[in-house]
A and B are shown apart, each in its own frame.
Chain A
Amino acid sequence: MSGTAVRYKDSVQPVRTDSRDIDRRVAVLTGEAADQQASGTAGEHAQKQAEVWRNLPQPEANDPTYYDRPLLNEPVWKWAIPTYDYIGGLTGAALVLGAAAQIGDTASRERLIRRCHRIGFAGVVVSAALLVEDLGKPSRVLNMLRVFRPTSVMNMGAWILMGSSVLAFGAFVLRPRKGRLRRVGQFCGYAAGVFGAALATYTGVLTGNTAVPLWQASRKILPILFGVSAMSSVGTLFELTVESAEERRLTKLFGTVGQTAELAAEIVMERQAAVVPRVARPLHRGLGGFLWRSAMLLTGTGLLLGLTPRHTRNRRIVSGLLGTLGSVLMRFTVEHVGTVSARDARASFHQQRAGYGAAEVTGRTAAVL
């Protein structure tokens, strides 16, 4: 089960170790942590941590930290999660649009409905694949469906994705049929719209519902930002792919409202975070600041370009690309700035001292000193 590594390679007496240094010929592993797989290479992870310690912080009596070490453990999510946020948003908003398009006389909108259901179906498949990628194996995704836990946003999300999957599949496969099957498909389409709306927004709730100071400060705006960005994602995707003028006018309206709101939500998020200056820092400095500005710039330029009259095909493609890039980059940036924020103990400390810890819900701060 566990590998071994050589430690002190250059010394006269290198040591083979599995990180436990328990002689397995005479001992058995039965402790609570006996299942922890150990490779003997923990030193390499530790080196990364040690880097932070290279710059000796000056103790500040009025604004103390523990050697400027992080308070929190930082998010372990990799590229699959922000990608999931984007794809899930796109999928959800497409299902909402698909459901709306089913209303009334649909003769001229059949192609649009079909497209929305296709995006919805492909989207849930990709989303599930991304979750598997993040968790390591498919069975781990199913672990989430063994319970129903309203306190866990991620558990709710698993059920939302599950519901969206079944319904998007139903709509995609059954609605093009005839008679009874079509009516079932039609119903699935409407229900998928409801689940889709949840799919497009719950990731914002999930991200805000954490102890990471910047995400916590943004917990009311994140579901809005993620939701409207999902609308924008659908709009810009259709800009890139759709030929029929009527379809485009319709999806463009949906997307433009989303894109405008996306830009506005980004501005609001930055302002809300800045209530405690230290909390907003990752949005202003370093790589995070650069990415955040870039995302806004892309979204803004895409929006403007899309609004100009004389809509040539080339212009449409450029505006669609810029908008899509802006939305994708926003997802990755939110992830990145959260990680930076988790590394800054002062962000949490200042936030809580300023009354945005438990005091926000309990009306008084717990701090004694």
Chain B
Amino acid sequence: MAETKGFFTDTTLCIGCKACEVACKQWNQLPDDGFLFTGMSYDNTVHLGASTWRHVAFIERPVPLTPQHDGAFSWLFSSDVCKHCARAGCLESCPTGAIVRTEYGSVYVQPDVCNGCGYCIVSCPFGVINRREEDGQAWKCTLCYDRLREDMIPACAKACPTESIQFGNLEDLREHAKERVRKLHESGAHNAYLYGATAEDQPGTEGLNAFFLLMDKPEVYNLPPDPCVPTKKVKDSWLAAGATAAAMALVAVGAVLFGGRERV
């Protein structure tokens, strides 16, 4: 097994050029999503989906933010992607085994096995994976599985002109990211922090193989503050189901033994 690979997306370096979005579309030969003008920021991509595997968020707000010194206004960019969670909701919910963990530690959907049940879509706490209307199958970022097999780095990381998207061994990326946060803190950007870098940072997913450096609350980037893979809590549900099943059986037996005779 190869070492676990991942992305470190340093949002402080993102300039919002969307080269990653384009490179992803091109390399994977993804169809377009329709050309739509949102009339709201420069984000016309809107959300990750079945045919959008990178999405650059444009956050323009009349809200002050250190260390941007433009009065009461701030701009943030962030290139969002599938997080390739250490505990992945999509993978654990997949009923066919179509979603697998690869030798790179990434989460991969095998299109020839996927039966389009749609359960992964509601199991991803990040709203990443989705189903295409045309073929009824679930799709998402593959961490460029085909490129990795050929010793190439993912198309988005390759295209990123500022190294906002960094690809590599997860361990190295973590080291590097910690160092980056330290430097940013030194230079006065005290609000810089890592999102999902380790299991401690994000116990609900036990860490993201694609983690982020953020400057504001996760919600600002449309990231959940304390996401949790649903299966971590499913025991309660099964217990409730078991208790209900037992109660149902009891009532049935009771009804049969005592309910049938004359007036009850």
A interface residue numbers (CB < 8 A to B): 2, 7, 17-22, 29-39, 41-47, 49-50, 53, 56, 59, 61, 64-67, 69-77, 93, 96-97, 99-101, 103-104, 108-109, 134-136, 140-141, 143-144, 146-147, 149, 151-155, 157-158, 193, 197-198, 200-202, 204-206, 208-212, 215-216, 219-224, 227-228, 230-231, 246-247, 249-254, 257-258, 338, 342, 345, 348-349, 352-353, 357-362, 364-369
Could you name 23 residue pairs across A and B whose Cβ atoms are closer than 8 Å?
A31-B146, A36-B137, A42-B31, A50-B46, A64-B216, A72-B125, A104-B256, A135-B116, A135-B117, A143-B98, A197-B245, A201-B241, A204-B241, A205-B240, A210-B93, A230-B248, A251-B255, A353-B225, A357-B226, A357-B228, A358-B203, A358-B227, A366-B204
Q: Which residue of B lies closest to A252 (CB)?
A: B259
A357 surroundings in chain B (CB, below 8 A): 204, 224-228
Which residues does B use to contact A, with CB under 8 Å?
Answer: 27-36, 38-41, 43, 46-47, 49-51, 57, 59, 61-63, 89, 92-98, 111-113, 115-119, 121-137, 139, 142, 144-146, 191, 193, 195, 201-205, 214, 216-228, 230-234, 236-238, 240-241, 243-249, 251-264
Q: Is the CB of A32 within 8 A of B28?
A: yes
A144-B202 in contact given A31-B28, A49-B46, A69-B47 (Cβ < 8 Å): no
Give chain B residues whose Cβ lies under 8 Å from the Cβ of A7. Answer: 35
B81 to chain A, nearest CB (A): 14
Report which of A45, A143, A204, A249 forms a contact with B113, defined as CB distance below 8 A: A143
Partner of A37, one of B118, B134, B231, B260: B134
A230 to B97, CA, bound (A): 30
**How many inter-chain residue pairs (CB < 8 Å) link A and B?**
382
Alpha-carbon distance between A73 and B61 when the two chains are bound, in angstroms: 24
In the bound complex, CA of A359 to CA of B117 (Å):
29
In contact, B225 and A253 (Cβ under 8 angstroms): no
**Contact A44-B34, Cβ < 8 Å, known A144-B96, A367-B226:** yes
Residues from chain B with a CB closer than 8 A to the CB of A198 are 241, 245
Q: A209-B233, A361-B204 are in contact. List 8 more A-B contacts (CB 8 A).
A: A29-B29, A33-B28, A36-B137, A76-B130, A205-B241, A209-B237, A219-B236, A362-B203
